[in-house]
Amino acid sequence: MSKRSGILEFAVLGLLRESPMHGYELRKRLNTSLGVFRAFSYGSLYPCLKTLVTLGWLIEEPAVDSGPPAAPLAGRRAKIVYRLTAAGKEHFEELLAHSGPDAWEDEHFAARFAFFGQTSKDVRMRVLEGRRSRLEERLEKMRASLVRTRERLDDYTLELQRHGMESVEREVRWLNELIETERAGRVERPVDERDDNDNTNQENGGRPEARGTA
Amino acid sequence: MSKRSGILEFAVLGLLRESPMHGYELRKRLNTSLGVFRAFSYGSLYPCLKTLVTLGWLIEEPAVDSGPPAAPLAGRRAKIVYRLTAAGKEHFEELLAHSGPDAWEDEHFAARFAFFGQTSKDVRMRVLEGRRSRLEERLEKMRASLVRTRERLDDYTLELQRHGMESVEREVRWLNELIETERAGRVERPVDERDDNDNTNQENGGRPEARGTA
DNA sequence: TCGTTCATGTAACGCGTTACATGATTGC
DNA sequence: GCAATCATGTAACGCGTTACATGAACGA
């Protein structure tokens, strides 16, 4: 209906899935833990939260402020803590699994990757491979346009293109490593129903060997 | 006044400086020659052109269609060719030289770099160095946030951060090479007043040696 | 008590896109 | 003749930001 948003909505749901939070804290985690790839401001976050509430993905809670025990009374502007509803959880799963055409773009991909810890292995594979083929398309276009326009571009433009292509190629190699690592990975932890907080996901969950590759 | 735009405006002026063009062609060059880093649509391009005309940077010309000699008459919807005015040229120089706080962001930088062929050496140096220090700031922040949050992030988030940092570090190395090359560069071609088309800018204008570095 | 950080919001604007509407020219 | 592509535009919307307004809690 009104005011749907892409990546911000997704990130909010993802963070809230880990644990309930209020807006301020949410924003900080958006810009630090996750935020390497993007910064959000209150002007977008708070309206987004409201929308998600009206959609039923989130509920507001009056913030049982467990910190300072004094002055727990009356009219103090309570922090609003947002908690993911069951429907919200479901919706988030859908978003994770969904492979829309724009799902492989830079920021969409980064956002999904950031929540791989909460994603099943097959979905992870699909996302990684989707991203890779998206990048390979992009490389094709770049090469084609280079062939078409080479000779009538100055050195700087050329250098810019070359550096751009190299960056993309580098990301493809990175994805290749990740995909290999995933393939080698064993156990499929069902992810569902385990009430929070055991985020220690050991047993070779992430990227083992394959480092100092340059 | 109304409808000022950043990078699109800049790119249009830059392309038009090389030679007059109509909107359609302009858009194609935006998305091929230059367009590795960004794609624009008509919905933004045409309004932008109008604005630039009212500002006096551009003038519309009725397109003396030199191609098909037949049917040069009456009411055919003429292509509109846009040409940079003297004021527009001046404005573009200002934009090139200007070092606003946002001038070092990803897309701003890429756009400026794409027009280095029309930029004097000292400005090129300022831009490259500005970009580099901007990236170094960014690296500082990333490192700091890593120190703060390490240990309570899952492997995937960590890997994402690591890859992000490596990308930035790589660009810094790239800039270092470019800056060195610039320093080694000799002649300062005044750039001004040479009526178009001798774009052959030889004499070691771009990036000589320093390749296969990985 | 005074500045800083925490905490929540709103209004206006920025900078673009998508989808639509329109028509001329070219090549088969 | 008909499709493709060239060529120009407009209206509505998307997804965010900046700047502003407000106020409580905390530390020195």
What digits encode the pLDDT tens for the residues A87-140? Answer: 999 999 999 888 777 888 888 899 999 999 989 999 999 999 999 999 998 888
| CATH number of the domain enclosing A36 | 1.10.10.10
The set of strand D positions with any atom below 7 Å of a protein CB reads 6-12, 14-20, 23-26
A100 strand C contact, CB < 7 Å: no
Q: How far is the CA of B59 from the C1' of C25 (A)?
A: 25
Q: What is the pLDDT of residue A118?
A: 87
Residue B5 banded pLDDT, cuts 50, 70, 90: low
Q: How far apart are CA B9 and CA B52, in angstroms?
A: 8
Query: Does A194 fall in a domain?
Result: no
Query: Does B194 fall in a domain?
Result: no
Instruction: Note whether B136 and B52 are same-domain residues.
Output: no
Smallest Cα distance from B72 to chain A, Å? 31
B199–A37 C-beta distance less than 8 A = no
Instruction: Note whether A139 and A168 are same-domain residues.
Output: yes
Nearest CA in chain B to A203: B155
**pTM, whole model, 2 decimals?**
0.80
Query: Does B108 fall in a domain?
Result: no
What digits encode the pLDDT tens for the residues B47-94? Answer: 999 999 999 999 998 765 544 443 444 444 568 999 999 999 999 999
Q: How far apart are CA A207 and CA B43, in angstroms?
A: 44
Mention every residue, 6+ apart, whose C-beta is less than 8 A from residue B22: B63, B79, B80, B81, B82
What digits encode the pLDDT tens for the residues B113-171? Answer: 999 998 999 999 999 999 999 999 888 888 887 877 766 778 898 898 899 999 999 99
Query: Does B95 fall in a domain?
Result: yes
Instruction: Note whether B91 and B29 are same-domain residues.
Output: yes
Instruction: Note whether B138 and B86 are same-domain residues.
Output: no
* Cβ atoms of residues A142 and B25 within 8 Å: no
> 3-state secondary structure string, B48-69?
HHHHHHHHCCEEEECCCCCCCC
Query: Does A28 fall in a domain?
Result: yes
Residue A214 has pLDDT above 70, yes or no: no
Q: What is the pLDDT of residue A157?
A: 87
Residue B202 banded pLDDT, cuts 50, 70, 90: very low
Query: Does B209 fall in a domain?
Result: no
Q: What is the pLDDT of residue A31?
A: 80
User: If contacts are CB pairs under 8 Å, which of residues 162-191 in chain A contact chain B?
Assistant: 163-164, 167, 170, 174, 178
**Identity of the residue numbered B1:** M
Instruction: Note whether A88 and A21 are same-domain residues.
Output: yes
Residue A195 banded pLDDT, cuts 50, 70, 90: very low
Give the domain range for residue A156.
Answer: 120-184
